[in-house]
Structure 1
């Protein structure tokens, strides 16, 4: 929710972020979505097939821009993948499937359209492209990341943002799961050559390990602040938010309250409050 991770400038519409990944920014900026939702077109160099990750909101102009961007690069959309089911990432998926004829694959069965499910450890191959599915629950229970080994990159949806930090969407999202997911991403960065984060919102990050370690430190710090606030007599989630998140834009307090509820559950589960 607060704190800024330095990052490279966000590629513009059709702008390349790696040899294989191109970002198309959806026109849905807000305090929650930052500059807007990043829709990713990913393809192997020389291939005529592409995968789209998170087609974004149900915005006809944006969906057609994604399709046109792929076509201008000589690519046909063969598959659509979802990092999770939040509307700013997935609401346009059904219409995008109509426009492209491509199936939609997701962890949540309710989000799939003519495609198989996705699970941690799966490998998706299309037109020579290889994407490895990384289960990263916490922001939501259905959150996934996609490891792009050929580019040393990971597409993180809302699990790691390009600017600021994400929320744990209580009660679907759970803090314990989220901390485990951050550890999984840390291992990916430290042991498997991942250097870049291609997020669902905000700029591309050039230091994946540094970004994940920042997130882990931030979460530990916030958790300690919440625990201290409870010990000081702040009992309700709203009271804790007003005390702990006083440095955060009040427009983000409703989202902060979801994270606080997740933190209170975590502290209670571990006998810390």
Structure 2
């Protein structure tokens, strides 16, 4: 009904999670057009929480950083923003200086960065990348739009600050001798509905893997999970 009287020429997919990509191919077939995305992403490890990838999805046209998709009266710049997933894309609408931000920046909550597909270091760099574009509006796929250049800048800064605050809290837990992610979550997310603790644990794991990459923490497991144990190597300067 929403498309009555309209012509759909492109179906754009920000990433392959199961709440995003499953309708893409049927919609494109109905409209007689093609799907556009980077690729299908990486499956979440069995038993780990996270939005399962739609592994049956593969775009008709693969696009990446710097590609341009256009039509009558609109021009979209493809912006690679890995972090939430390895294949996440945002799309910059030139005519409105707006960003279709997918799950990279949501309007109602912060984004889960869940390994193995999610990467916290990539995520923080991608936030900087979008912030540097100085968009006037963010159109997320979850939550309300973020409007006004100054507010967009502030919103992204607060997004990054939230992740830094979580990292600081994890370091405090490690300094106190806590080595278990589920036990950390009980303290760090004490005010959060316990039903969300498994998702919180995945974000903590994302931070922990980044701390291991930067030499701040260590785990005896080559491929750490939320059930692994961790310890502090050194306090970052």
TM bracket, shorter-chain basis: 0.7 to 0.9
Distance 2:144 2:163 in 1: 21
Distance 1:81 1:159 in 2: 15
- Cα shift at 1:127: 2.3
- Which of the numbers 18, 29, 41 marks the counterpart of 1:87? 18
SS in structure 1 at match of 2:26: helix
Q: Which runs of 4+ in 1 moved over 2 A?
A: 109-113
Aligned counterpart, 2:143 = 202
SS in structure 1 at match of 2:9: strand
- Which of the numbers 226, 250, 253 marks the counterpart of 2:197? 253
TM-score (normalised: structure 1): 0.70
SS in structure 2 at match of 1:155: strand
Distance 2:192 2:65 in 1: 34
Q: Of the two structures, which has the highest relative contact order with CA contacts closer than 8 Å and spacing of 6 or more?
A: 1
SS in structure 2 at match of 1:141: coil
- Cα shift at 1:122: 0.9
Distance 1:243 1:234 in 2: 11
SS in structure 2 at match of 1:89: coil
- 1:87-126 equivalences in 2 (<5 Å): 87-108=18-39, 111-113=57-59, 115-126=60-71
Stretch deviating more after TM superposition (153-162 or 86-95): 86-95
- 1:7-22 equivalences in 2 (<5 Å): none
Find out whether 1:70 has 2:3 as its counterpart. yes
Stretch deviating more after TM superposition (195-204 or 234-243): 234-243
- Cα shift at 1:257: 1.1
Find out whether 1:140 has 2:140 as its counterpart. no
- Cα shift at 1:247: 2.3
SS in structure 2 at match of 1:264: helix
Find out whether 1:267 has 2:198 as its counterpart. no
Distance 1:129 1:81 in 2: 14
- Cα shift at 1:241: 1.4
RMSD of aligned residue pairs (Cα, Å): 1.4
Aligned counterpart, 2:163 = 219
Distance 1:237 1:172 in 2: 19
Aligned counterpart, 2:114 = 169
Listed as ranges, the gaps of 5+ residues in structure 1 are 1-67
- Cα shift at 1:128: 3.5
Find out whether 1:231 has 2:172 as its counterpart. no
Q: How many residues end up aligned between the 2 structures? A: 199
Listed as ranges, the gaps of 5+ residues in structure 2 are 41-55, 218-237
- Cα shift at 1:255: 1.1
SS in structure 2 at match of 1:184: helix
Distance 1:131 1:221 in 2: 34
TM-score (normalised: structure 2): 0.80
